[in-house]
Structure formats: structure tokens, C-alpha cells
Amino acid sequence: MKIKKSDFSEWYNTITKEAELCDLRYGIKGFVVFRPWSVMTMNKMYSMMEKSIEKRGHVPALFPALIPEEYLTRESDHVEGFVPEVFWVTQAGNNPLEGKYAMRPTSETAMYSMYALWIHGLTDLPFKMYQRCQVWRYETKATKPFIRSREFHWIETHNCFATKEDAMAQVLEDMEVTEQVIHQEYGVPFLFFRRPQWDKFAGAENTYAADTLMPDGRALQLPSTHMLGQNFSKAFGIKYKDEKGDDQFVWQTCYGPCISRIYAAVLSIHGDDKGLVFPFDLSPLQIVIVPIIKEDTRKEVLKHCNEVKKMLEDDFTVKLDDSDRTPGFKFNEWEMKGVPIRIELGMRDIEEGIVVMVRRDTGEKIKVKPKDLNMEIKKAGEAILKNLVKKADKWFEDKLSSADSMDELGKKLEEPGFIKVPFCSDSLEAKVCADVIKEKHHANVRGSLFTSKETPKNKKCIACGNKANIYLYVARQY
Amino acid sequence: MKIKKSDFSEWYNTITKEAELCDLRYGIKGFVVFRPWSVMTMNKMYSMMEKSIEKRGHVPALFPALIPEEYLTRESDHVEGFVPEVFWVTQAGNNPLEGKYAMRPTSETAMYSMYALWIHGLTDLPFKMYQRCQVWRYETKATKPFIRSREFHWIETHNCFATKEDAMAQVLEDMEVTEQVIHQEYGVPFLFFRRPQWDKFAGAENTYAADTLMPDGRALQLPSTHMLGQNFSKAFGIKYKDEKGDDQFVWQTCYGPCISRIYAAVLSIHGDDKGLVFPFDLSPLQIVIVPIIKEDTRKEVLKHCNEVKKMLEDDFTVKLDDSDRTPGFKFNEWEMKGVPIRIELGMRDIEEGIVVMVRRDTGEKIKVKPKDLNMEIKKAGEAILKNLVKKADKWFEDKLSSADSMDELGKKLEEPGFIKVPFCSDSLEAKVCADVIKEKHHANVRGSLFTSKETPKNKKCIACGNKANIYLYVARQY
């Protein structure tokens, strides 16, 4: 295994292949086959995310994968942003179709055409719906499995409100979901930004996004919430009658946690030089039992291993690796696969009346009496998550810095991370300043901290030298 | 609500609309929007099915939605069967693509191109994989929501074995899954057929399929298992080295429970003239609490209703309907939606120290002490499933009959169902006999009972009059 810290890109390519997470040999460029070891974790991630958003009142629906051209082009900014990336269906069987259909690059236009038929009055609001689906985009940037490909797996929530305030409250609720699920349950730290005006979603008034950092210090966008204002409701005619009986357009938000991409963050941030490391509840397999066998003790040891397995399998996912490989080989294999807990059991342990439990995250070995095993594993599972969150937070914290000049920014970027800089503005006119940074340092302005009220005092914009009015964060990005 | 028995088609159209299960007004013909009330049940159905197949060793994966033309056309029978139904992607952004890509109509060719890279030896077998996904087919028959549309939601398992016997054992295991999940958990009865040779899957040696009956007596295909033999393994080069080190092609099966279609069977078979009826574990909402309020008791009654809700919500999905509508209106609404248990609670019940529990399936009213409520609901939930299975089985049983002549078949078809007839053969040559039945009675030969060994004694083929060698089942079909 390559060293994660010194050559992350090589580490990533190696682990996704060795742990059989995906296969890049499928016959269409940019389309990846996701293998069981990644899909099992992504399914768990989907469940946690769906539970959290359903608890907050979003209900599931399923909309067609194809979108008529006429829907897709109804909101003018949206067209401009997405049409260059669309895969078009033009033919069915041997015949050309009359119109052409887009494979959804995102579902605003598919969903809002129906919302206009369903929403009529104040009793229909707030209207909070989601779908779990795939989307397709003809990416021109280099693809990398899970991080960026032409097909990805996500959840998208699409919501309508009577007022702008209600819509803004949804942005905060989305941030809360991101914190609870992605940070606390997946263990992925992030900063929550308001994107600069030049970097928002096509058709939105504002884009708010959680960014994490990959081990090479480059920023990776996790879910974003788009404040759509009334742009789409006006284009699609989504209206309600207010108390006076007058027609009003709804205010809209959408939120898009991309599970396949967040999975990339999970495996990259927690992994180490031995391979994958998973939070206990995200691992496809939670416990592997490795028998320590000599020829004459084989039967006795396997009998005990099977008893331990039976004790555990109601509460956890557990596998007894009774294959012919050596214990050492098995240790390496299952460590590489990220299984959180290994149980070793040999004749000496049986005589001592214990089993040995080994934590993947710390390597810690604990001797446990069989009767205490289920409880000890439950405790260890919680401790593993806690440790991974803490470790990731500490690492992330160390990647935050600040700079007051272009030179200082350059120096800070030698160890990339998020660098806070004073800036003139995040409005469209300030894009020229962002371009200076991009050109000089190959880094991007990711936005202002959503929840921070801090403003620069007597500082100058790092790029143009005019008065600084806002702190923005700069990073190299995926 | 229209009468289900006398005009099933009208009942079906009405209920799918009134209960907000789907919306047919989307801008592409044959593409349906699935609304929350159906998606919530289909998600539960997916979970039960996935649990059952994972227990039997199938592991989940995710393959691309697009298939290169070159893969799709590699197995010659498969091409012929599917190419006329394929939606083709020919353009990305504003540019034509070099090749063209099929939106998967089914995933054999996408998956087997990779299987050839993954399977090498006996230790890789059996190889049992599945994906949960959507498929697209340009149907030329009339579409009907859930039953037949151009986009549907299914699970497909694709399996490889060392021997033909192992593959045949998988057909039996699939039948076991169908029995356990679709019959025992969803409550949908079926017969399990071997299809005649003229009606098998494109590329298969044999197709085995579970058929149910809809309330109008017409047959609906539920999952089918295709015994693919070595047709695809030869076309895709899926080989393993046997004990002697010689290359052997694997034997393959695939199984495709179409959740959106099975959902149509669930709602049609259990529903009644008041609307939907769900097994307890399939309903989006399990319990609705309806307060019986007079103006002066409002506060007190709602307080008690909230207490009951709190008692139940850890174990069940429960809603307190405290809207301004009348109790009668609410009763009708939630009965139409199929909620299995209603709890009524008014001042008189509070004084009596009881709550009233009403079963949707039987209308039975039971007075329960609050302390016993959770246990009573659990018991009622089990009783509801049991009752629905029993009722459906009884109804299904009554739809089975037999006929020994074309005239008798015609008479039996006045009350459609499955009609057992003596037939010359189910080989390709006997298709002419099936065509006679189709022309004369607008009915189809569905196949022979997979598990039955019964053969006709001294009978003649109902169509050609030659010696009958097999019993086949005839039905009108969807």
C-alpha cells in the first residue's frame, strides 16, 4: 500500500482497486462499476441520510429519469449551466423520436413541472419532497471514481415555502442534517460556505455548500443547498393563494447530498497506510473472526469460533474466516478492507477462557470474557466512531489557516488546506480578484463562512488592494 | 369509489389517482411520476426483498445505466428480443457521440462484460450478485401505471455456477424467495410456471415465472427466473478453471422481481370498494388516531390523543389527524388510503378508560385499555397479514379450473382465471396450437406448473387433437 500522506492520489487509486470498491474497465468512458464492498457502505449511508431527512418531514417520490427538452430549457440560467453536460436520448428502437429527452443531470425541471399541478394553497406548504436516484452529466474534467464521474448516486430534496424566511430556515435545517449525518455519523468534518456569486448553481439566487478536505489538502464539495428564490417557481408557475386569495409564487430550496462522492471522503479521511478504516456502523462487515489453528487443534478451535459467531450474529454482521490462508495473511486482508473489529481465537485463548478483540482504528488488543463480548463490542463500536470523528476533526483543524497577502497565501498553499483571506467582495464584480488567485496560485475562492459574522477591520483585499469587506476561504479543489 | 369486482379497470384508475399513488401528467408518454404514498410502500417492499436475497448470499452492486451497443448485441437472441425496445443515447451536450449507448432495458450485458473479468476459478463460484435499479423499455403495448410503463423499478440478481445442477437449484431458491416474500409477506398468491419455449426470455434456455391474477381474472407476471445456460457465458467469455485446470464456461441464472409491478398486484388484490388495504408492515402509515371532539372537550381529548401517540410512536408509524375535518370525513379518507389501524378517542372513551381500535381489513372494532394498546396493535398487525393472505389465497383458489375442449375453455373464460388444459407439447412446434387459443379466445398459454409431475392420461391436445403430453395453463393476460 502506498503511503497516504506522501502520495494520496496513488494511495486512492490503489485502495479503490485492491479493496474491490469499483472497476474502471467498463466500456463507456467516465462510467464506473461500483462493487459490493462500496455499495454495502453506500446503502448504509443512504439509510442514515434518508432517516434524517424523513424525520424532518421530507417525503420520498420517484420522478422519471428522462426530462423533455422543453422542461429543461424553461429556466434560462439553468439551461445555460446544464445543457452542455446533458446526455440526450434521440432514438427508440430503430426509429428517431419526435422530441429529444435529457437523461436528468439534476431534477429541478422534472419535479417542478409536477409541483405546479400539486401546490395550490397555504395548506400545501411547506412542501418537502426528495428522491434517491442517479444523475448523469457529460463531464469534461478528468474523472476519478466516486469523486467525479459521468454517473453519480445521490439524494435530492426539493422544497417549496410561502416566504423567503421559511426558505432560508430550510438552508439552516439542511446544514443541521449535514452536521448530524455527515459529520457525526460518517465522521467527515466540513466548513459550510456561502458560495461567491460567480460560483453558484445555474438558476439559484445563492448556493450554500459544505466542503471537506481530502488528505492532500484539496477541497471536496459535499452537499450543497441552493436558495432558488422564485426563479423556478416563476418559470414553472408554482403558485399558491395567500390569505387574501391572491396568487403568490412559492420560494424554493434544494439540497443534494451525493452519496457516492461523500463515500470518497469517508474512505479517504479515515483510511490509513494499511487500507480502509470504517466507522463501526458503515462497514459492510463489522467483525471478522480469525481462528489461530494448529493441525491438531483445528476442530476444537473452529467449534469455539462458531460458538462466538453465533453469539454475535443477531446483533452485528460477522464473518468467520476459516479459509486456508495464514492468520497473518487474513489480518492484512481484513485490515485493508477496513473491518472495524477482529476477533482472534486460538487454543491458548480457549484455555484461558477469553477471546482477543482487536480494534482496526487503533490496533488496540483487548482480552474479553465471552459472556461480556457483545457488550464490549457495542462499546468498542461507539468508541471507534468517537475516535475517528475526533481524529478527523483534529486533522481538519490543523488545515485551517489565514493569509493577508498574496505572498503569504502562496506560502500557506505549500501545505494546502482552507486559507482565510480578506477580500473586497463576493459579488459578481469581484470575480476578477478570484481569477488573479486562480492564475497565480492555482487555487479557488470557496466562499464565506455561512455562520460567521466576522468582518475584516482595516484590511485590504488580497488581490486588488481595495478595502476588504469580507473574509473568504481559498483552497485548491477537486 | 367504483366497484372493484364489476369494473376493476375503472376501480384501478380511480384509486391510483384518488390515493395519490402516481401522476400520469408528466411530459413523456409512458413515463409515470410515483408519488409518496406508493413510494413509501415500494421502499418497504424493496427492503424485505433485499433482506431475503442477501440472506441467501446475493451481494449488491451498481452497474452503469448505459450499455454500449457492442455489449448489447453480443448475444444474438438477446439482441433480437431487446433492440426494438431500446432508448438510445446518441448525443452529449451539443455534440453527437461516437458510438451509441442503450439505456439498460435489462442488465445482463452490462454485468456479464465485467463478470468475465472477475471470475477465474472454482473459489469464485457460486457468484451471486444483484442490483436495485430502474430499467427502460420503449413499450408499444398500452401502458398502465405500475403494471406496464416505459420505466420500471426492480431488483435483478445475476448468478454464475459451475454446473447446470447448481443453476437449476437457484431456480428453486428463487421460487422460495418468491413464496416467502411475495406470498407470505406481501400476501400475493401465485402459480410458478415453466414458460413454453415460444415465450421465454431472449437469450434464455428456459424461463420460470410466478404469475398472479388480478381481480378481473387476468394473469400478471411477477418475478421470473431465466435459466440462461451457457448462452451468455459463451458470448461474454465467462470461464473458470475446473479441477483439472481446463477452462469451462459458467452456467447462469437471473431473477427479476419488478417491485413497481408487484406493487400493482398488492394494491389490486387486497383493495376493496372503500379503497386501499395494506398488510400492516407495508402501509406507509400504520396507525391513524382520530379524535372525537366536541367544542368543550377539544383540549382534553387532544391531550389524551397526544399521549396515545407518544406511547405508540417508538414501535409504529402513527399520525394524529387533528385537522378541522369531521371524524366521518377522516374515517373515509384514511380507509381509502389503506391505513391498517384507526384509533378513535373521545370523551366517553376517556371516561371509560379505553380507546377504540378499528381494523381496516375487517372493520372490526375492539375496545382496548391503554396499557395493553401496543401489544394489541402488534397482535392485530399480525392478524391483518394472516387474514389478507388467507382471503387472497381463497379467492385465488376459486379462480383455478380446468377444461378438456375448446368449447369448455370458452365457457370457463367467461369468469377468467387460470384454466388447466391438456396440450400436445410446450416445445416451439406447439406454438401453432397456442395461436389457435389466442385467436379463438383471446387467451394465452402461460406454461406448465413447475413443481407438478401430473401428466394427462388418454387426453387430446385441446387445440390440435393429437395426443396430449402435458398440462398447460391458459389465461387472459396483462
Read off the pLDDT band of A2 (50, 70, 90).
low
List, for residues A103-135, the tens digit of each pLDDT value.
999 999 999 999 999 999 999 999 999 999 999
- Mean per-residue pLDDT, A167-181: 97
pLDDT tens-place string over residues B131-168: 999 999 998 888 899 999 999 999 999 999 999 999 99
Task: List CB contacts (< 8 A) between B64 and chain A.
Answer: 26, 28, 31-33, 151
Q: Give B-chain residues touching A129 at CB under 8 angstroms.
A: 36
User: B459 is written with which cell numbers?
Assistant: 387426453
pLDDT of residue B2: 60
Grade residue A81 by pLDDT with cuts at 50, 70 and 90. confident
Residues in B closer than 8 angstroms to A36, CB to CB, are 59-61, 129
Closest among B329, B328, B471, B311 to B378, alpha carbons compared: B311
Res. A237 pLDDT band, cuts 50 70 90 = very high
Q: What residues contact A321, with CB distance under 8 A and at least 6 apart?
A: A288, A289, A290, A291, A330, A334
B61–A39 CB contact, under 8 Å: yes
Smallest CA-to-CA distance from B107 within B152, B149, B147 is with B152
The helix/strand/coil state of A451 is coil
Band of residue A167 on the pLDDT scale cut at 50, 70, 90 = very high
- Which of 3.30.70.270, 3.40.50.800, 3.40.640.10, 1.10.3080.10 would CATH assign to domain A287-384? 3.40.50.800
Q: How many CB atoms lie within 10 A of CB B3?
A: 11
Nearest CA in chain B to A58: B36
Minimal Cβ distance to B61: which of A36, A68, A84: A36
Beta-carbon separation of A103 and B89 below 8 A: yes
Residue B49: its pLDDT value, please? 98
* DSSP for residue B5: T
Query: What does the alpha-carbon distance between residue A127 and residue B162 come to, in Å, rounded to a whole number?
Result: 53
pLDDT of residue B143: 86
> Does the pLDDT value for residue A252 go beyond 70?
yes
Cell numbers at A65, concatenated:
429519469
pLDDT of res. A373: 97
Give the pLDDT confidence score for residue B288 in this predicted structure.
98
Quote the CA–CA distance of B235 and B203 in Å, as a whole number.
Answer: 10
SS3 state of residue A260: helix
pLDDT at A1 > cutoff 70: no
Q: Which of A62, A122, A158, A263 to mutate to test the interface with B (most CBs of B within 10 A)?
A: A62
Query: Is the distance from CB of A269 to CB of A187 less than 8 angstroms?
Result: yes
Sequence-distant (≥ 6) Cβ neighbours of residue B38 within 8 angstroms: B21, B22, B146, B263
- d(CA B446, CA B190) in angstroms, rounded, equals 12
Distance between CA atoms of residues B22 and B149, nearest Å: 12
DSSP H or E segment with residue B231: helix B231-236
Kindly report, residue by residue over B416-464, the tens digit of the pLDDT. 999 999 999 999 999 999 999 999 999 999 999 998 889 999 999 999 9
Reduce the DSSP state of residue A363 to 3 states and report it. Answer: coil
Whether the predicted pLDDT of A202 surpasses 90: no
B402-475 CATH pick, 3.10.50.40, 3.30.110.30, 3.30.870.10, 3.10.20.30? 3.30.110.30
Average pLDDT of chain B is 96
Equal CATH topology for B8-270 and B287-383 = no
Query: Using the 8-state DSSP alphabet, how is residue B123 labeled?
Result: G
| C-alpha–C-alpha distance, residues B261 and B264, integer Å | 5
- Residue A263 backbone dihedrals phi, psi, to 5 degrees: -60, -40
CA of A123: which chain B residue's CA is closest?
B323
Contact A107, A155 (CB under 8 A): no
Q: Are A213 and A417 a contacting pair, CB within 8 Å? A: yes
Integer Cα distance of A475 and A418 in angstroms: 5
- Let me know: does B145 contact B21? Beta carbons within 8 Å: yes
- Give residue-wise pLDDT tens across range B270-283: 999 999 999 999 99
Instruction: Give residue-wise pLDDT tens across range A420-441.
Output: 999 999 999 999 999 999 999 9
Q: Where in chain A are the domains?
A: 8-270, 287-384, 402-475
Of 3.20.20.70, 3.40.50.620, 3.30.930.10, 3.40.50.720, which CATH number belongs to B8-270? 3.30.930.10
Cβ A67 vs Cβ B96: under 8 Å:
no
Kindly report the nearest CA distance between residue A367 and chain B, in angstroms.
31
Q: Is the alpha carbon torsion for B50, B53, B56, B58 positive or negative? A: negative
What's the mean pLDDT when you consider all of chain A? 96
B89/A117 Cβ within 8 A: no
The interface predicted TM-score of the complex, written ipTM, equals 0.96
So what's the pLDDT on residue A82?
A: 84
| Cell numbers given for A252 | 424554493
Most A-contacting residue of B89, B150, B152, B258 (CB-CB within 10 A), to test interface = B89
- pLDDT, tens digit, 9 for 90 and up, residues B1-28: 567 878 999 999 999 999 999 999 999 9
- Which of B44, B66, B79, B314 is the mutation pick for testing A, counting most A CBs within 10 A? B66
Instruction: Give me the CATH code for the B287-383 domain, please.
Output: 3.40.50.800
Report the alpha-carbon angle A84-A90-A96, nearest 5: 155
Coil vs helix vs strand at B260? helix
* Cα angle A82, A85, A89; round to 5: 105
Please tell me which residue of chain A has the smallest CA distance to B82: A93
Q: CA-to-CA distance for A219 and A351, rounded, in angstroms?
A: 52
State whether residue B447 is helix, strand or coil. strand
From chain A, pick out residues whose CB is under 8 angstroms from the CB of B68: 27-28
The x, y and z cell numbers of residue A305, run together, are 469460533
Output b/e per residue, B355-368; b: 16+ Cβ within 10 A.
bbbbbbbeeeeeeb
Tell me if A11 sits within 8 A of A271, measured CB to CB.
Answer: yes
**Residue B319 predicted with pLDDT over 70:** yes
pLDDT for A9-34, tens place per residue? 999 999 999 999 999 999 999 999 99
Q: Answer positive or negative: Cα dihedral of A121, A123, A125, A129.
A: negative
pLDDT the model gives residue B187: 98
CA distance B110 to B113: 6
Mutation target to probe the B interface, by most B beta carbons within 10 A, among A50, A66, A115 is A66
pLDDT tens digit sequence for B39-65:
999 999 999 999 999 999 999 999 999
Which pLDDT does position B1 carry in this prediction?
54
Please indicate whether residue A3 or residue B248 has the higher confidence score (pLDDT): B248
Instruction: Determine, for residues B87 and A66 on separate chains, whether the beta-carbon distance falls below 8 Å.
Output: yes
